[in-house]
Structure 1
Amino acid sequence: MPNVTQDSRRNFMKLFAAAGGGLVLGFNTTSSVASALGLIDEAKLPAAAIDFNSYLSISPENIITILSPNPELGQNIKTSFPMIVAEELDADWTKVKVVQAPLDTNKFERQVTGGSGAVPHSWERLRKAGATARHMLVEAAAKRWKVPANSLTTENGTVVHAASGRKLTYGELATEASKVPVPADVKLKDNKDFKLIGTAVRNVDNHEMITGQPLYGLDIYKEGMLYAMIQRPEAFGLKLKSVDAAAAKAMPGIVDVVTFKNNVAVVGKSTWQVMKARKALKISYEQEGALESSADHDRLFKELLKSPEATVRRKDGDVDAAFKKAAKIIESEYQCPFLSHSPMEPMNFFAHVRPDGVELAGPTQTPERARDQVAKLLGIAPESITLELTRLGGGFGRRLSADYVLEAAELSSLVKAPVKVIWSREDDMTGGIYRPAVRYRFEAALDAKGNMIGYKLRGVGINSGNPTREDNFPSGAVENLLIESVEHQSPITTGPWRAPITNFLAYAEQAFLDEIAHAAKKDPVQFRLELLERAKKSPVGEIKYDIDRMRGVIELAAEKSGWGKKKGVAQGFSVYFSHRSYVAQVAEVKLKNAVPVIDKIYAAADCGIVVNLSGAYQQVRGGIVDGLGHAMYSKLSFKGGAPEQQNFNNYRLIRLKEVPEIDVHFVNNGIDPTGLGEPALPPTGGAVANAIFKATGKRLRNQPFVEQPELKNVIG
Structure 2
Amino acid sequence: MHMIAPNTGLSRRSFLKMGAAAGGGLLIELSLPGARALAADAGPFAPNAFIRIGRDGTVTLVMHKVEMGQGTYTAIPQLIAEELEVPLDAVTLEHAPPDPKYAEPLIGAQITGGSTSIRGAWKPMREAGATARVLLVQAAAKKWNTDAAKLVARDGAVIDATGGRRAPYGELVDIAATLPLPTGVALKDPKDFRLVGRPVRRIDAAGKVNGSARFGIDTVLPGMKVATVAASPVFGGTLAGVDDAAALKVKGVRQVVKLDNAVAVVADHMWAAKQGLAACAPRWKDGAHAKLDTAQIFAQLEKSSESPGAVAHKAGDADAAMKAGARRVDAVYRQPMLAHATMEPINCTVDLKADGLDIWVGTQVPGIAQAVAAQTAGLKPEQVRIHNHLLGGGFGRRLEVDFIAQAVAIGRQVRGPVKVVWTREEDIQHDMYRPPYLDRISAAVDAKGMPVAWTHRIAGSSIMARFFPPAFKDGVDPDAVDGAVELPYAIPAMRVEYLRVEPPAVPTAFWRGVGPTRNGFVVEGFIDELAAAAGQDPVAYRRALVKDGRARAVLDLVAEKSGWGTPLKAADGVRAGRGVALMQVFGSHIAQVAEVEVNADNEVRVRRVTCVIDCGFAVNPLTVAAQMEGGIMFGLTAALWNEITLADGRVQQSNFHDVRMMRMNEAPRIDVHIVPSGEAPGGVGEPGTSVAIPAVVNAVFAATGQRIRTLPIAGQLAAKNT
**Contact 1:71–1:111 at 8 Å: present in 2 too?**
no
Q: Paired residue for 1:584, among 558, 569, 591?
A: 591
Letter of the 2:551 counterpart = M
TM-score by length of 2: 0.87
Letter of the 1:12 counterpart = L
Matching of residues 14-29 of structure 1 within 5 Å: 14-16=18-20, 19=23, 22-29=25-32
Letter of the 2:145 counterpart = K
Residue in 2 aligned with 1:660? Answer: 668
Residue in 1 aligned with 2:260? Answer: 261
**Contact 1:706–1:712 at 8 Å: present in 2 too?**
no
| Cα distance in structure 2, aligned partners of 1:9 and 1:489 | 41
| Cα distance in structure 2, aligned partners of 1:643 and 1:13 | 52
Aligned residues with identical type, % of pairs? 34
Shift of 1:592: 7.5
| Cα distance in structure 2, aligned partners of 1:607 and 1:379 | 45
* 1:515 is aligned to 2:510: no
**Contact 1:11–1:31 at 8 Å: present in 2 too?**
no
CA offsets, 1:162-216, max 9 Å, x none? 3344333333434443444332332211111111001111222222211212520
Unaligned runs of 5+ in 1: 1-6, 33-50, 534-546
Letter of the 2:61 counterpart = I
Letter of the 2:284 counterpart = Y
Shift of 1:385: 1.8
* 1:323 is aligned to 2:319: no
Shift of 1:69: 2.0
**Contact 2:114–2:513 at 8 Å: present in 1 too?**
yes
- For residues 365 and 623 of structure 1, do their structure 2 counterparts lie closer, same or farther at Cα, with a shift above 3 Å needed? same
- For residues 480 and 167 of structure 1, do their structure 2 counterparts lie closer, same or farther at Cα, with a shift above 3 Å needed? closer
Letter of the 1:146 counterpart = N
- Counterpart of 2:410 in 1: which secondary structure? helix
Which deviates more, 519-528 or 704-713? 704-713
Residue in 2 aligned with 1:646? Answer: 654
Which deviates more, 290-299 or 661-670? 290-299
Would you say how many aligned residue pairs link Structure 1 and Structure 2?
675
Residue in 1 aligned with 2:145? Answer: 146
Matching of residues 374-393 of structure 1 within 5 Å: 374-393=373-392
CA offsets, 1:562-610, max 9 Å, x none? 4335565743210112222221112233578897643321212122211
Matching of residues 529-608 of structure 1 within 5 Å: 529-533=543-547, 547-565=548-566, 568=569, 570-589=577-596, 597-608=605-616
**Contact 1:315–1:481 at 8 Å: present in 2 too?**
yes
* 1:63 is aligned to 2:58: yes
**Contact 2:340–2:431 at 8 Å: present in 1 too?**
no
Matching of residues 611-626 of structure 1 within 5 Å: 611-626=619-634
Residue in 1 aligned with 2:692? Answer: 684
Letter of the 1:25 counterpart = I
Which deviates more, 470-479 or 644-653? 470-479
| Cα distance in structure 1, aligned partners of 2:364 and 2:112 | 5
- For residues 256 and 11 of structure 1, do their structure 2 counterparts lie closer, same or farther at Cα, with a shift above 3 Å needed? farther
**Contact 1:503–1:682 at 8 Å: present in 2 too?**
yes
- For residues 13 and 676 of structure 1, do their structure 2 counterparts lie closer, same or farther at Cα, with a shift above 3 Å needed? same
CA offsets, 1:86-145, max 9 Å, x none? 000111223232222322335655431111112222222211111112112212222333
* 1:473 is aligned to 2:487: yes
Matching of residues 235-314 of structure 1 within 5 Å: 235-290=234-289, 291-305=291-305, 307-308=306-307, 310-314=309-313
- For residues 382 and 60 of structure 1, do their structure 2 counterparts lie closer, same or farther at Cα, with a shift above 3 Å needed? closer
| Cα distance in structure 2, aligned partners of 1:375 and 1:478 | 52
Letter of the 1:678 counterpart = E
**Contact 1:247–1:281 at 8 Å: present in 2 too?**
yes
| Cα distance in structure 2, aligned partners of 1:615 and 1:118 | 13
Q: Paired residue for 1:505, among 519, 526, 541?
A: 519
* 1:77 is aligned to 2:72: yes
Shift of 1:480: 4.3
Letter of the 1:442 counterpart = I
**Contact 2:309–2:497 at 8 Å: present in 1 too?**
no
TM-score by length of 1: 0.88
Which deviates more, 657-666 or 95-104? 95-104
- Counterpart of 1:134 in 2: which secondary structure? helix
* 1:101 is aligned to 2:108: no
- For residues 619 and 239 of structure 1, do their structure 2 counterparts lie closer, same or farther at Cα, with a shift above 3 Å needed? same
- Counterpart of 1:261 in 2: which secondary structure? coil
Residue in 2 aligned with 1:204? Answer: 203
| Cα distance in structure 2, aligned partners of 1:24 and 1:336 | 50
Shift of 1:336: 1.7
- Counterpart of 2:288 in 1: which secondary structure? coil
Shift of 1:515: 0.5
Letter of the 1:87 counterpart = E
Letter of the 1:555 counterpart = D
- Counterpart of 2:637 in 1: which secondary structure? helix
Residue in 2 aligned with 1:451? Answer: 450
Unaligned runs of 5+ in 2: 1-10, 36-45, 466-476, 570-575
- Counterpart of 1:708 in 2: which secondary structure? helix
**Contact 2:301–2:501 at 8 Å: present in 1 too?**
no
| Cα distance in structure 2, aligned partners of 1:243 and 1:23 | 59
- Counterpart of 1:213 in 2: which secondary structure? coil
| Cα distance in structure 1, aligned partners of 2:30 and 2:448 | 58
- For residues 193 and 136 of structure 1, do their structure 2 counterparts lie closer, same or farther at Cα, with a shift above 3 Å needed? same
Residue in 2 aligned with 1:40? Answer: none
- For residues 112 and 494 of structure 1, do their structure 2 counterparts lie closer, same or farther at Cα, with a shift above 3 Å needed? same
CA offsets, 1:618-659, max 9 Å, x none? 011111111111111212212111111101122211111222
Shift of 1:148: 1.3
Residue in 1 aligned with 2:38? Answer: none
**Contact 2:14–2:31 at 8 Å: present in 1 too?**
no
| Cα distance in structure 2, aligned partners of 1:154 and 1:712 | 67
Shift of 1:29: 4.1
| Cα distance in structure 2, aligned partners of 1:595 and 1:278 | 39
**Contact 2:598–2:700 at 8 Å: present in 1 too?**
no
Letter of the 2:293 counterpart = S
Letter of the 1:578 counterpart = V
* 1:701 is aligned to 2:709: yes
CA offsets, 1:396-415, max 9 Å, x none? 00111100110111222233
**Contact 1:628–1:684 at 8 Å: present in 2 too?**
yes
| Cα distance in structure 2, aligned partners of 1:105 and 1:331 | 46
Q: Paired residue for 1:54, among 44, 49, 56?
A: 49
Letter of the 2:535 counterpart = K
Letter of the 1:478 counterpart = P
Shift of 1:392: 0.6
- Counterpart of 1:496 in 2: which secondary structure? coil
Over aligned residues, Cα RMSD in angstroms? 2.8
- Counterpart of 1:273 in 2: which secondary structure? helix
- Counterpart of 1:360 in 2: which secondary structure? strand
Shift of 1:312: 3.8
Shift of 1:18: 6.8
Residue in 1 aligned with 2:184? Answer: 185
Shift of 1:509: 1.3
Shift of 1:327: 2.3
Letter of the 1:708 counterpart = Q
Which deviates more, 485-494 or 678-687? 485-494
**Contact 2:29–2:48 at 8 Å: present in 1 too?**
yes
Letter of the 2:586 counterpart = H
